[in-house]
């Protein structure tokens, strides 16, 4: 049996009036590159913020490395590294100063900070930017720095919300190399994305969420079977089929009654 490193059970979350998660279940195993997929507004960012402890769920349970994060909200954080959807870094520090700071607040020994900082600066080809103010760096460079900072304590689980937005192909390739290197060491990668071709190439396993529910999870083969789109279907076809099917039951009864009433009035044909 594979080790579960992240487990969500019946997680609910509403922002005043908006029900973002509706009983979400999710399992992520050790050593995989896991993709959380879903259209805009599906609840990906909400899910990630709950896992990393930035947002409180209304109901349900989340376990990370077997810590119940509600009961023990601090201990598990040393196991995770997090790169948010919109990276915001201190403009007034240099790249190097920011990485040193990130290592120090995580309690990483100086020697290791230096070693890992150099490793990622080289890998991301940022050597000539070491002493540049973050202020002066491009969006893609900032994203790379955020990833390096999230890895400075060598976490078991790296969680990234839409990591490939604004990154050039060479940068994307580099990030994928890092992912592959880490899973070889038994570390886990958790990404959210709506870019299906990326997920298809990169992820061992995915979950498709829609309206705050897990509508399907597994490897591409499982999903093809689940969605009955045929053996040669791409993830995109599976995704469209599954999110389309999931749409109907979500409409609440009253909304559905209003909809029918409305369509009865104006008709739906043109
Ligand atoms: N701070 C917020 N206040 C109100 N509604 C929010 C807030 N954040 C997200 N939502 C809503 O919750 C739902 C899920 O959003 P989100 O988790 O950001 O989805 P995704 O990351 O998959 O695009 C959406 O309907 C979104 O509009
Ligand atoms: Mg999002």
In a domain, 243, yes or no: yes
User: Which of 22, 45, 56, 210 to mutate for ligand 1's pocket (most ligand atoms within 8 Å of CB)?
Assistant: 45
In a domain, 39, yes or no: yes
260: CA distance to ligand 2 center in Å?
A: 32
241: CA distance to ligand 2 center in Å?
A: 21
The mean pLDDT value for 140-165 works out to: 95
CB distance 191 to 184 below 8 Å: no
pLDDT grade, residue 269 (50/70/90)? confident
Nearest to 158 by CA among 49, 67, 72, 79: 79
Say what the pLDDT of residue 168 is: 84
Say what the pLDDT of residue 253 is: 57
Nearest to 18 by CA among 36, 37, 45: 45
Say what the pLDDT of residue 241 is: 84
CATH code, domain carrying 28: 3.40.50.300
The mean pLDDT value for 1-23 works out to: 92
Say what the pLDDT of residue 252 is: 55
55: CA distance to ligand 2 center in Å?
A: 14
pLDDT grade, residue 48 (50/70/90)? very high
CB distance 82 to 53 below 8 Å: no
CB distance 142 to 167 below 8 Å: no
12: CA distance to ligand 1 center in Å?
A: 13
Beta strands of the chain (E only): which ranges? Answer: 4-15, 18-29, 33-37, 59-64, 67-68, 80-83, 157-161, 188-193, 205-210, 213-218
Phi-psi region of 15 (alpha: psi -120 to 50; beta: other; left: phi over 0): beta
* Overall number of domains in the chain: 1
Q: Which atom of ligand 1 is nearest to the CA of 38?
A: 22
In a domain, 270, yes or no: no
Residue 43: nearest ligand to its CA?
A: 1
Residues with CB under 6 A from ligand 1: 15, 18, 20, 38, 40-46
User: Would you tell me how many other CB atoms lie within 10 Å of the CB of residue 167?
Assistant: 18
4: CA distance to ligand 2 center in Å?
A: 24
Residue with CA at minimum distance from ligand 1 atom 24:
41
For residue 143 the two structure tokens come to 């994203």
User: Which of 21, 41, 243 to mutate for ligand 1's pocket (most ligand atoms within 8 Å of CB)?
Assistant: 41
pTM for this prediction:
0.88
Report whether pLDDT(166) > 80: no
Residue 49: nearest ligand to its CA?
A: 1
169: CA distance to ligand 1 center in Å?
A: 28
Domain holding 32, by residue range, is 4-265
In a domain, 143, yes or no: yes
Say what the pLDDT of residue 246 is: 63
């Amino acid at each position: 049996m594979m080790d579960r490193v992240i487990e969500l059970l019946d997680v609910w979350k509403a922002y005043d009036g908006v029900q973002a998660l509706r009983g979400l279940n999710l399992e992520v195993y050790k050593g995989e590159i896991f993709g959380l997929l879903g259209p805009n507004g599906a609840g990906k960012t909400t899910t990630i913020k709950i896992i990393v402890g930035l947002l409180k769920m209304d109901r349900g349970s989340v376990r990370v490395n077997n810590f119940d994060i509600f009961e023990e909200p601090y201990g598990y954080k040393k196991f995770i590294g997090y790169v948010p959807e919109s990276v915001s870094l201190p403009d007034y520090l240099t790249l190097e100063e920011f990485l040193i700071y990130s290592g120090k607040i995580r309690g990483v020994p100086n020697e290791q900070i230096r070693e890992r900082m150099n490793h990622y600066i080289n890998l991301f080809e940022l050597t000539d930017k070491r002493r540049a103010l973050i202020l002066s760096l491009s969006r893609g460079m900032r994203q790379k720095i955020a990833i390096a900072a999230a890895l400075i304590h060598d976490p078991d689980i790296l969680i990234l919300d839409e990591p490939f937005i604004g990154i050039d192909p060479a940068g994307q390739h580099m990030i994928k190399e890092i992912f592959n290197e880490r899973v070889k060491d038994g570390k886990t990668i958790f990404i959210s994305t709506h870019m299906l071709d990326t997920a298809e190439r990169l992820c061992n396993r995915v979950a498709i969420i829609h309206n705050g529910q897990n509508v399907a999870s597994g490897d591409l083969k499982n999903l093809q079977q689940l969605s009955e789109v045929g053996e040669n279907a791409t993830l995109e076809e599976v995704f469209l089929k599954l999110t389309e099917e999931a749409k109907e039951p979500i409409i609440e009864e009253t909304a559905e009654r209003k909809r029918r009433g409305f369509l009865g009035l104006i008709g739906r044909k043109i």
